[in-house]
Structure 1
């Protein structure tokens, strides 16, 4: 059986640089890219349709209701009462 010398397992500076810096950075970038891609898919497919999310992010504009013509209800009510009973005036 052949014995291995220590020099055959010696790592160069490039190998140390790869193990210490490049591989962890690539692993973190890969993980973050998967998280962002998953969030993007969830946003486009599900979250945009949730009313609470729409309200928070202003995605759905509330329709502006026109004011009704007879909106002075109290005045009309008392005018009708006075028209029916002129003695109350």
Structure 2
């Protein structure tokens, strides 16, 4: 009687515990192995993946020069003209 219960319990353990665990390991092993091979051969060299994974250090940004374009020159000239007008109006 006791050996029959032990055999049933071991069979239940195999069916409900060991088989699902082995199935999960069987599925995830090729997936992880394939990911590792893809990572080491191709994905490490893709710039977008490098940025996401933090493998490429960010380049320090250079400060932009004050006189970098036409729009900045236009507004600077406008400000200088306004200052000249204020000085000429205020002087007798």
Normalised by the size of structure 2, how large is the TM-score?
0.51
CA RMSD of aligned residues (A): 2.7
2:52 alignment partner, one of 56, 66, 79: 56
Structure 1 position 16, deviation (Å): 2.5
- The equivalent residue for 1:84 is none
Q: Which runs of 5+ in 2 are unaligned?
A: 1-6, 69-92
Q: Which has the higher contact order (CA 8 A, sep 6+)?
A: 1
Task: Name the structure 2 match of 1:17.
Answer: 13
Which has the larger share of helix? 2
- Give TM-score, length-normalised by structure 1: 0.52
Change (3 A) 1:35 1:72: same
State which of 12, 33, 43 in structure 2 corresponds to 1:37: 33
Cα distance in 1 between the residues matched to 2:11 and 2:46? 49
Structure 1: which 5+ residue stretches go unaligned? Answer: 1-11, 75-89
